[in-house]
């Protein structure tokens, strides 16, 4: 994949996932605030080279991300990826199910925090 | 769901997931060693009430579990659930993809540990 | 234990522990928001089958919970269980002692966060 | 507390807790291998100033330690403190109960690892 | 080192690191709220015996602390130590670099949280 | 930076850091076992774009890595980076110091595990 193609893929995937996320909540801007070149490298790697891969469907990929962020208890990042999960077609029941299920591995408190984030995102999107 | 039905579901799900896992590596026996009644309650809850739910397909559920156990770095438990993932029809490429992807959230060292476990399970199953 | 007995135990234990917790802060309502049947299963398992066990006294059980939630750094859940610890008769000195001691295992920053939560709960209860 | 008193307390507490632990498994020797003066400072602080406090009984203190090390998944350190718990009079049922209970907070895989360590320690002590 | 010397070192190091931190945000006061004697022991050990060591320069020590608190995701404590890092002469570029680099080990979400804290501290200090 | 330059930087940095690490212990080979193209992308990003940056000296960068891997308790990865730290000129005292210091943030058990790894690496290199 040449650089032009990588940039296109990055843009397309970013748009597919995060179109409903407020601009100022996107980590890319925080990275740029400190280092523009590194922000670009990170974005091309994470979004262009990792998220854009097609070995598993977008829906599965986002449910996996929700699972990882739930057990790690990273509520801010989880908010972005619950948006992404809903944007690629996951239902609220599927997202909730993943969060409930991971209570077995990461404990019930991490699940409770993640369910609060899901509730907040749903209310935001419905309003 | 009455108790008989719950027991049947628990047995059916346990068999579907863990038929290739060595008997002595199943946590159920460890639980029973310390407390038979609690082992039964935990088993009916975890396997019967959580794993047996049908809101997401078994394949998705197991990939989610692989993601959670990778970022938490729980290699022994991961071994069991990589078996389960393969047993319900996930390909080795799909399992590897999940482990690679979660490096963004849980860091590369956790991914490396999980890939080693996957390699070990694949070699065991192929031998 | 039959289901009626389990429900009674669950209610009795929930009442003993969480009577001073605001209704909207109880995870049970969050679970119900997403899945009523699962909320019931989780509640019967966690409160009825785990918390209601009598192998260690309630006071010890709650100090153990405070220790676990401190080192995991789960401040919202900790708030609920500091209430529970005080409700079953632990003194503020005992709760503080547990939080201080776990700094050896989980680090001082986790202890600082937990002490802030304890201070907040004490001030709430005294006002 | 003057220094002589602190040293005495440290020695007394270390002896009470770790008399059944093999000399080479005690962290103190590892610390000394790298820095003798710091090893002494750490030992006086951790064992003399933290573990020797008397605000909660030794049995409770060790069950708390078992809870913290279980959810953090620190199996080597847990081994030492399961010895300590048994040495100050906790029963195997009490230690197992703490490990089971913390599955709600730290997840079932961490509990499984800790139960394996408990089983190993019990078998060592019985042989 | 006798006690008088230890107290002097503790005061000198605390002043060097935390002079720009608001008094009420210093953990020492939280410790004292619960236990004055233990607060003193912890302070002499942590600040006097650990932070005051001279085997690595203050700048390196604070960058190390920033790395540890980033991957553990302890934003409140990180705030104090970003102040300390800047107070001992680290540049904002160096602090940002450490936070970016640790994304490889602790994941990108932990890095994002830490960058937000750094941005907040920089804005506070510049205003 | 064009691709040729990036590859050269990646090779040079990998050689500087990991020349004393056994070939089969390098994560790159594990990545390649599952996906050659992704292995290449990860290697160019992690080693070429992150480790090769020159905003902080190699010695500081490796001490930071040791700190992060200690508190996260990732002993296998830590082994590689203790090699790297020693290879770029850190002394054993400096590495030990970092591991001791992080006990304040990540707890003493994580420090003990890391010190064992350091001892093992030193013995390997001296033999």
- pLDDT (tens digit per residue) in A17-61: 999 999 999 999 999 999 999 999 999 999 999 998 989 999 999
Residue B86 has pLDDT above 90, yes or no: yes
Distance of alpha carbon D9 from alpha carbon F50, whole angstroms: 49
For the segment B114-122, the average pLDDT, to the nearest whole number, is 98
Give the chain B residue whose CA is nearest to the CA of E73: B106
Question: In this structure, are residues C119 and F116 in contact, taking their beta carbons and an 8 Å threshold?
Answer: no
- pLDDT (tens digit per residue) in F9-34: 999 999 999 999 999 999 999 999 99
CA distances from F64 to A118, D18, F94, F105 (A): 35, 33, 11, 14
Distance of alpha carbon D71 from alpha carbon E126, whole angstroms: 41
D56-77 as b/e: b if 16+ CB within 10 A = bebebbbbbbbbbbbbbbbbeb
Cβ separation C108–F108 shorter than 8 A: no
Q: What residue has token string 């509990």? A: D111
Rounded to a whole number of angstroms, the distance from the CA of B96 to the nearest CA of chain E is: 18
The pLDDT score that the predictor gives to residue A70 is 98
The pLDDT score that the predictor gives to residue F54 is 87
For the segment B61-81, the average pLDDT, to the nearest whole number, is 98
Give the chain D residue whose CA is nearest to the CA of E52: D38
Q: What residue has token string 């003193």? A: E40
This prediction has a pTM of: 0.97
Residue A1 has pLDDT above 80, yes or no: no
Q: Is D72 on the interface with A (CB under 8 A)?
A: no
Give B1's contacts (C-beta < 8 A, 6+ positions apart). Answer: B9
- Give ipTM to 2 decimals: 0.95
The pLDDT score that the predictor gives to residue D54 is 87
- pLDDT (tens digit per residue) in F27-84: 999 999 999 999 999 999 999 999 989 899 999 999 999 999 999 999 999 999 999 9
Query: Which of D59, D68, D88 should one mutate to test binding to chain C, selecting the residue with the greatest count of C CBs within 10 A?
Result: D68
Cβ separation B107–E105 shorter than 8 A: yes
Distance of alpha carbon C126 from alpha carbon A124, whole angstroms: 36
Chain F residues with beta carbon closer than 8 angstroms to that of E104:
46, 50
Chain B residues with beta carbon closer than 8 angstroms to that of E104:
107-108
Cβ separation C49–B53 shorter than 8 A: no
The pair of structure tokens assigned to B28 is: 């159920």
Rounded to a whole number of angstroms, the distance from the CA of A50 to the nearest CA of chain F is: 8
Query: Which of F71, F106, F110, F111 should one mutate to test binding to chain C, selecting the residue with the greatest count of C CBs within 10 A?
Result: F106
Q: What residue has token string 């909660």? A: D56
Rounded to a whole number of angstroms, the distance from the CA of D42 to the nearest CA of chain A is: 30
Question: In this structure, are residues A63 and A98 in contact, taking their beta carbons and an 8 Å threshold?
Answer: yes
Query: In 3D, which of D28, D62, D59 has the Cα closest to residue D45?
Result: D28
Rounded to a whole number of angstroms, the distance from the CA of D12 to the nearest CA of chain B is: 32
The pair of structure tokens assigned to E36 is: 């004055």
The pLDDT score that the predictor gives to residue B8 is 94
The pLDDT score that the predictor gives to residue E127 is 84
The pLDDT score that the predictor gives to residue A29 is 96
Rounded to a whole number of angstroms, the distance from the CA of B122 to the nearest CA of chain A is: 19
Looking at residue D26, the DSSP 8-state letter turns out to be -
The pair of structure tokens assigned to F74 is: 């990732």
Q: Is B5 on the interface with C (CB under 8 A)?
A: no
The pLDDT score that the predictor gives to residue B2 is 83
In the Cβ-directed half-sphere of C118, how many Cα atoms lie within 13 Å?
29
The pair of structure tokens assigned to D19 is: 């008399």
**CB-neighbour burial class of residue C89 (10 A; exposed 0-12, middle 13-18, buried 19+):** exposed
Q: Is B72 on the interface with E (CB under 8 A)?
A: no
What residue ranges of chain E have pLDDT lower than 50?
A: none
Distance of alpha carbon C13 from alpha carbon C1, whole angstroms: 15
Distance of alpha carbon D67 from alpha carbon D56, whole angstroms: 15
Angle at E105 between CA A101 and CA E26, to 5 degrees: 90
Please, which pLDDT band fits residue B90 given cuts at 50, 70 and 90? Answer: very high
Map E43-108 to HEC letters: HHHHHHHHHCCCCCCHHHHHHHHHHHHHHHCCHHHHHHHHHHHHHCCCCHHHHHHHHHHCHHHHCH
Which subunits sit against F, judged by 3+ Cβ pairs under 8 A?
A: A, B, C, D, E
Give the chain C residue whose CA is nearest to the CA of F101: C107
Question: In this structure, are residues B56 and A98 in contact, taking their beta carbons and an 8 Å threshold?
Answer: yes
What is the pLDDT of chain B when averaged over all its residues?
96
- pLDDT (tens digit per residue) in C24-52: 999 999 999 999 999 999 999 999 999 98
What is the pLDDT of chain A when averaged over all its residues?
96
Residue A2 has pLDDT above 90, yes or no: no
The size of chain D, in residues, is 127
The pLDDT score that the predictor gives to residue D37 is 95
The pLDDT score that the predictor gives to residue A30 is 97
pLDDT one digit per residue (tens) for chain D, 127 residues: 788 999 999 999 999 999 999 999 999 999 999 999 999 999 999 999 999 898 999 999 999 999 999 999 999 999 999 999 999 999 999 999 999 999 999 999 999 999 999 999 999 999 8
Q: What is the DSSP string of C14-45?
A: HHHHHTTS-GGG-HHHHHHHH-HHHHHHHHII
Cβ separation F30–B116 shorter than 8 A: yes
Query: In 3D, which of D82, D94, D77 has the Cα closest to residue C64?
Result: D94
User: Of all helices (H) and strands (E), which one includes residue F111?
Assistant: helix F108-126
Cα dihedral E45, E50, E51, E55 sign:
positive
Phi and psi angles of residue E91, each rounded to the nearest 5 degrees, phi first: -85, 160
Q: Is C26 on the interface with A (CB under 8 A)?
A: no
Cβ separation A77–E112 shorter than 8 A: yes
Query: In 3D, which of A74, A76, A77, A79 has the Cα closest to residue A95?
Result: A79
Give the chain A residue whose CA is nearest to the CA of F35: A55
Question: In this structure, are residues F66 and F98 in contact, taking their beta carbons and an 8 Å threshold?
Answer: yes
Chain B residues with beta carbon closer than 8 angstroms to that of C49:
38, 41, 45
The pLDDT score that the predictor gives to residue A88 is 97
**CB-neighbour burial class of residue E28 (10 A; exposed 0-12, middle 13-18, buried 19+):** middle
Give the chain C residue whose CA is nearest to the CA of A120: C30
Q: What is the mean pLDDT of each run of 10 residues along chain C (127 residues)?
A: 89 94 94 97 95 93 98 98 98 98 98 98 94
Which subunits sit against A, judged by 3+ Cβ pairs under 8 A?
A: B, C, D, E, F
């Amino acid at each position: 994949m040449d650089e032009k193609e990588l940039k296109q893929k990055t843009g397309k995937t970013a748009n597919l996932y995060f179109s409903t996320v407020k601009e100022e909540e996107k980590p890319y801007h925080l990275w740029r605030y400190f280092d523009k070149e590194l922000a670009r490298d990170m974005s091309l790697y994470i979004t262009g080279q990792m998220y854009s891969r097609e070995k598993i469907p977008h829906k599965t990929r986002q449910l996996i991300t929700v699972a990882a962020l739930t057990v790690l208890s990273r509520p801010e990042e989880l908010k972005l990826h619950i948006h992404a999960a809903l944007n690629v077609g996951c239902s609220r029941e599927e997202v909730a199910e993943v969060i409930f299920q991971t209570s077995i591995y990461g404990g019930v408190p991490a699940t409770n925090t993640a369910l609060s984030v899901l509730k907040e995102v749903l209310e935001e999107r419905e309003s």
